[in-house]
Structures are given as C-alpha cells and as structure tokens.
Amino acid sequence: MLLLVLFCMILCLLVIAAFIVASIRRKRFAYDVSRDYEYGQLPKSATVSLREGELILPDTIGANDTVIARINVKSGWLGRLVMPWIGVKTNRGEWRAYVEHGGNGARYLNLTDTFDDGSRKITLSGNRVSLPDQEVELSVYPRECLSGKKILVLAPHADDAELAAYGLYEKHAADTLVVTITAGEGGSFHYNNLYARNPEQMQAQYLQKGRMRVWNSLTVPLLAGVSSENILQLGYFDSTLQVMKQNPDADVKSTKLDTADVNLFRRANTSPLSKGLNGGSNWRGLVNNLAYIIETFQPDIIVSPSPNIDAHKDHQYTTIAAVEALKQLDYRKGSLFLHTLHFLSDDFPIGKSGSMLSLPPMFGQPFHFHSVYSLPLNKEEQNRKLLALDAMNDIRPNANGYADWKTMIFRGLNGLRHHVFDIDRDLVNRFVRSNELFYVVPVSDVHQEDSYQKIVQCG
C-alpha cells in the first residue's frame, strides 16, 4: 500500500513537472503560437488536396521552382513538451520541418527540391503534431539561374556571410566577392581565461578579438574557393553603424577601444580592391566605399540582411548603407537577396541542424520582398558549412572557456537548463540546414521612393 501511494505521488509530481515545462516552453516564444502565420503578399499559384498525409503537385510546377505550401497544423499534448515536427518524404529523400511547442494554425512549409519531374507525390507526417485533411495553397517562384552571375555578399560581422550564405557563395565561389563591414571587436564572447578584468587588459582583449575576427573574415571564404582578391574587410567598429548614420560626417569611435582609426583593422587586407578604400569611421565613408565596391565589381546579386526582419542594428544599417550606395550610383541591375540571422523575436529558426528552413513567423509586420529563393544543401555541403563556421573564433561551440573546469561545469548545467526550458538559439545549429533562404527584391525597387522606404524600414 505504501509503495502504491509513493508511486502515485511520484506520478503526480511528474505530471505537474511536465505541465510546468510545457507551459514554460510555450511561453518562450515572443508571440502566440496558436496564431496563423500571415503572408498576404505570397501569390496563390495553385491549390492541392492533402488527403491522409499525401499531396500531389501539379505538372505546372517545375522541379527547380521554389515552392512554399500553406499547411494547417495542430500540436498534440506531447508537442507542448517536446518540439513537434513535420516529416516530408518523397522519392528524393526525407526532411524535417519543426513547429513551435504547442503550435497551431497556418504555417508555411518549404517544399523546394523535395520532388522531381518523375514523381510529384509528397508524403507528410506529423510527429507530435497532426495534419488534418485540407486544401493546401502553394506559392511558386521560378528559380533564377545564378550560373555566371556576380554575387556580392555583405557581412556586417565575421561569420554572418557564412551563416546566411556559405552554401550559396561556395557554389559560385569564382564569381563571388565577400565584404565584411565591421571588425567585430565587441560582442558577448570574451577570452576571460587569458585576460584580466582591468581596463588595460580589457583593451588588449578587445583588440585581439578584433584581430582574430578580421582574420576569420579574410580567411574562411578561402575554404569555399573564393579568391583572396575577392575578400575585403572594411574595418568599421562593432555596434556603431546606427550612430554613424545619425551623425553621417562624424568619425565614431569603437565602443570597446579608444580609437576611431578604421585602418587599425583595415590594414589586414591583401586584396588590390582595398587600395580604393578611403575615409574615416563615418557614414559617408561607409556609403562611398560600398559605392566604390559596387561600381568596381558590378554585382548581379547583393546578399545582405533584411532591415524589416533582422533586429541587429549593424545588420539593418549594413543594408541601408548598401541601398544608399545603389541610389548614389543610380545602379539598377540585379537583385537584393535579403535574409535574417537575428530574427525580430529571436525565436527563428527552430529545431535541429539539418532540418528545413521555411518562412519565419509573420503577423502582418512590414516585410518587403517580391519572391523567395531557396537554395538546397546536401549533407556534404552542410558539413562543409559547419566546418567553416567552426573556423570562426566567436561562434565555435568549444571556444569559450578553453576547457576550464568551472566554465565547463557551468556550461553543462546551463546547457541542461536551456535544453529543458528554452528553445535553441545556437547560431551554428540554427543555420546549418538543408537549405538557405533568401527574400528577393529587384534593385530597381531602390529607386522608387515607396519601395525604398519599405526596404529600409527597420523592424
């Protein structure tokens, strides 16, 4: 009898604990996970029936098209405890697309590159989430061929180009120019075991961190096959671009180092293009340098963060500066390939490395784009992307602490707490996926005032 009572008590405690964990996990999202995602600007290209987990795409959709499906989902009880996911299975393979803890309503599933012309049947299965029979709206975008196109990748910091577009620029390395805007001497990562916490040592630490990240920005693209002549570091200071914009003619000092001299980091360049860089740590200098780079390189594609949905100020103002440079030059050819690394509510993407990257949560916020471009990455390409990120000092998983036992214990316990109660915000896990995703805006939009204002609106 005592054992039965003890068993019931333990069971009750487990149920209560499960309820608490489920409630906390659901509340970790900055929005109501039971709301439908809203993308009013997506075209309704076709409608197909989902019956007993199967749908068949119409012949009018090409195997190389980007295909986004609006699917209604409903999480089960276990989906509140363990993150639910949708399984996608075709004759080409199997993929996963994750849903929020307790997620319900319309979600936008990326079906690009899951099918071919020989078989258009797609099987969808729910793990801790149900997919009722329904009519599925498809948004289809013919995918532009990028072969021979010149691609300019703008990275606000070292590692941003790799997180967003390593797969893209590796595939087109011979035609790519990678430009990093800031040295990245600030940020949360520190070499605490190497430097003391006094002003002199902290200055030395931030200087060394900037040097390491500058070196990362100039060398990691070489792994993808980008020529050293096509890799540039502009040397502006971390977390200063917004202030530069507000005071366009004033030189803005580093927030961590007692200097406003951009040549401190810019001198590490080896590309002949660096000889044309000029000006100080001010907004006009940044815009003029980007105009010089664009005019010299003549890109067809410019990859950069979307100010609408990337919350990091350096990311927003990198693109705003590029757009100002395009206007200054009256440059009209090509497209902007916009993306997000620091989504507005910092809860996208979710799920495990290797899963699908689909459209982020959106509820009517301003978000300007004309089409979506999804680039597939196979397992080997994902591995190379992960190894490129591992070469970045600031985000590699094992860098912080240098195996100090106190740090390791703290990280282990904190990681356990994070795993139980939170969603994964590790950048490497978030962006090594089966595809890279870009929101396409024609450069011609920059020269139309209404569209220009929509592009540069900060979320």
Q: Output the domain CATH number for residue 400.
A: 3.40.50
Query: Does residue 50 surpass a pLDDT of 90?
Result: yes
As for how many domains the chain has, the answer is 2
Q: 321 lies in a domain?
A: yes
Q: 96 lies in a domain?
A: yes
Q: Are residues 226 and 179 in the same domain?
A: yes
Q: 369 lies in a domain?
A: no
Q: Are residues 61 and 195 in the same domain?
A: no
Q: Are residues 336 and 385 in the same domain?
A: yes
Query: Does residue 439 surpass a pLDDT of 70?
Result: yes
Q: Are residues 253 and 130 in the same domain?
A: no
Q: Are residues 137 and 226 in the same domain?
A: no
- pLDDT at 4 (0 to 100): 66
Query: Does residue 13 surpass a pLDDT of 80?
Result: no
The whole-number average pLDDT for the span 359-369 is: 95
Q: Are residues 161 and 126 in the same domain?
A: no
Query: Where in the sequence is the domain holding 205, given as residue range(s)?
Result: 151-342+378-432
Q: 351 lies in a domain?
A: no
CATH of residue 55's domain is: 2.60.120
Query: Does residue 153 surpass a pLDDT of 90?
Result: yes
pTM across the whole model:
0.92
The tens digit of pLDDT for each residue in 365-416 reads 999 999 999 999 999 999 999 999 999 988 865 444 444 555 555 555 555 4
The tens digit of pLDDT for each residue in 263-299 reads 999 999 999 999 999 999 999 999 999 999 999 999 9
Query: Does residue 304 surpass a pLDDT of 90?
Result: yes
Q: 268 lies in a domain?
A: yes
Q: 307 lies in a domain?
A: yes
- pLDDT at 16 (0 to 100): 56
Q: Are residues 198 and 283 in the same domain?
A: yes
Q: Are residues 287 and 225 in the same domain?
A: yes
Q: Of 12 and 234, which is predicted with more confidence?
A: 234
Q: Are residues 115 and 155 in the same domain?
A: no
Q: Are residues 221 and 127 in the same domain?
A: no
Q: 410 lies in a domain?
A: yes
The whole-number average pLDDT for the span 435-454 is: 98
Q: Are residues 174 and 80 in the same domain?
A: no
Burial 131-161 (b: 16+ CB within 10 A, else e): beebebbbbbbebbebeeebbbbbbbbbbbb
Query: Does residue 355 surpass a pLDDT of 80?
Result: yes
- pLDDT at 73 (0 to 100): 98
Q: Are residues 280 and 382 in the same domain?
A: yes
Q: 11 lies in a domain?
A: no
SS (H, E, C) the chain: CHHHHHHHHHHHHHHHHHHHHHHHHHHCCCCCCCCCCECCCCCCCEEEEEECCEEECCCCCCCCCEEEEEEEEEECCHHHHCCCEEEEEECCEEEEEECCCCCEEEEEEECCCCCECCECEEEEEEECEECCCEEEEEEEECCCCCCCCCEEEEECCCCHHHHHHHHHHHHCHHHEEEEEEECCCCCCCCCCCCCCCCHHHHHHHHHHHHHHHHHHHHHHHHHCCCCHHHEEEEEECCCCHHHHHHCCCCCCCCCCCCCCCCHHHHCCCCCHHHHHCCCCCCHHHHHHHHHHHHHHHCCCEEEEECCCCECCHHHHHHHHHHHHHHHHHCCCCCEEEEECCCECCCCCCCCCCCCCCCCCCCECCCCCCCEEEEEECCHHHHHHHHHHHHCCCCCCCCCCCCCCHHHHHHHHHHHHHHHHHCCCCCHHHHHCCCEEEEEEEEHHHHHCHHHHHHHHCCC
Single residue among 119, 141, 163 that ends a domain in this structure: 141
